[in-house]
């Protein structure tokens, strides 16, 4: 189950919320670069399936710029006191303290961290499938930008040692436990596991409540509040991205395309054009 499904299922975001996603910004940056002919040479390269490289397969090349723009847009939305859904990764440990500081300064009343966890092999398989499905849909006449490619080693970097817990999960927990959390009326941490063993923790003014199912209901604390500066803030963690040069990107994209092409040859996609 993905983050968007979790948001809908838990009713964490309402009508009129601003959804900020660096991947959307990447699309705009790629479109502008293509119009200016920046990636003409790369987009003329054929991969192992016999088809050209597609724009979203170059997404990692605009990662740094998209992150900077996302920070600017987030700052604008915070200054307006808007309800926000911020999709991204919690791979940087400094993100939690920065968000807690910014939210307290803007007089936000609630901060929900949604951490969607899955084992490493499942996360890699999902990323590869999403990319390949997007590529196949583009070949069938769908969105010509294709699927977004995430190199496997980028996902691997989010897992350390023998633990299935991600770096993102540890940073999310650290943000929830941070002393700055006391500056906000409500801070909530929701952790979803692939096996369905979900956990919910809530703090009110820095005081930790009991986890869901331990005798004290936590759900009433997640009801959205209203008002110009009484907004909710939802942070989604679990995505990954990286800065790569063109040569690295082409190597891993070509390798994965070759692997997927061999797999499809063994198990034909019946929905593909004949």
What does each of the 274 residues of the chain score in pLDDT, given as a tens digit?
556 666 666 666 667 788 888 999 999 999 999 999 999 999 999 999 999 999 999 999 999 999 999 999 999 999 999 988 888 778 889 999 999 999 999 999 999 998 988 889 999 999 999 999 999 999 999 999 999 998 888 889 999 877 778 899 999 999 999 999 999 999 999 998 888 788 999 999 878 764 544 433 333 223 222 222 223 444 433 333 334 466 666 677 778 878 777 765 554 443 433 3
User: Residues 257, 49: contact at Cβ < 8 Å?
Assistant: yes
- The DSSP output letter for 3 is H
C-alpha distances out from residue 231 to 20, 224, 228, 250, 269, Å? 15, 7, 7, 43, 46
Q: What's the pLDDT at 265?
A: 53
Tokens 């299935």 label which residue?
A: 164
Q: What's the pLDDT at 272?
A: 38
Q: What's the pLDDT at 94?
A: 93
| Helix 63-79 / helix 95-105 crossing angle, nearest 10 deg | 20
Alpha helices in the chain (DSSP H): 3-10, 22-35, 63-79, 95-105, 120-139, 152-156, 167-177, 246-266
How are beta strands 18-21 and 199-204 bridged, if at all?
Answer: unpaired
Q: What's the pLDDT at 182?
A: 94
- What residue segments make up the domains of the chain, in order of their start? 3-211+230-253
Report d(CA 9, CA 3) in Å as an integer: 10
User: Residues 221, 210: contact at Cβ < 8 Å?
Assistant: no
Spatial CA neighbour of 104 closest among 223, 13, 222, 233:
233
Q: What's the pLDDT at 163?
A: 74
Report d(CA 115, CA 130) in Å as an integer: 20
User: Which of helix, strand or coil describes residue 246?
Assistant: helix
* Cα pseudo-dihedral 56, 57, 61, 63, rounded to 10: 50
How are beta strands 199-204 and 110-116 bridged, if at all?
Answer: unpaired
Encoded tokens for 17: 């919320």
CB atoms within 10 A of CB 83: 22
């Amino acid at each position: 189950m993905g983050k968007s499904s979790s948001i809908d299922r838990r009713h964490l975001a309402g009508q009129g919320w601003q959804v900020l996603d660096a991947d959307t910004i990447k699309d705009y940056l790629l479109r502008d670069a293509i119009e200016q002919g920046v990636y003409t040479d790369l987009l003329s390269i054929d991969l192992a399936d016999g088809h050209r490289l597609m724009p979203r397969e170059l997404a990692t090349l605009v990662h740094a710029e998209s992150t900077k723009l996302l920070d600017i847009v987030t700052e604008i939305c915070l200054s307006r006191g808007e309800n926000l859904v911020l999709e991204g990764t919690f791979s940087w440990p400094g993100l939690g303290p920065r968000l807690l500081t910014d939210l307290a300064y803007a007089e936000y009343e609630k901060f929900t961290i949604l951490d969607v966890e899955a084992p490493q092999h499942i996360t890699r398989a999902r990323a590869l499938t999403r990319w390949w499905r997007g590529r196949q849909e583009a070949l069938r006449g769908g969105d010509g930008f294709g699927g977004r490619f995430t190199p496997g080693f980028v996902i691997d970097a989010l897992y350390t040692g023998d633990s299935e817990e991600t770096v993102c999960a540890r940073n999310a927990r650290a943000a929830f436990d941070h002393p700055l959390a006391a500056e906000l009326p409500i801070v909530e941490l929701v952790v979803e596991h692939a096996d369905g063993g979900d956990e919910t923790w809530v703090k009110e003014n820095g005081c930790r409540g009991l986890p869901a199912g331990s005798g004290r209901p936590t759900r009433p604390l997640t009801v959205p509040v209203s008002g110009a500066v009484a907004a909710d803030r939802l942070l989604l963690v679990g995505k990954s991205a990286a800065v790569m040069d063109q040569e690295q990107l082409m190597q891993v994209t070509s390798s994965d395309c070759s692997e997927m092409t061999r797999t499809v040859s063994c198990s034909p996609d019946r929905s593909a054009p004949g």
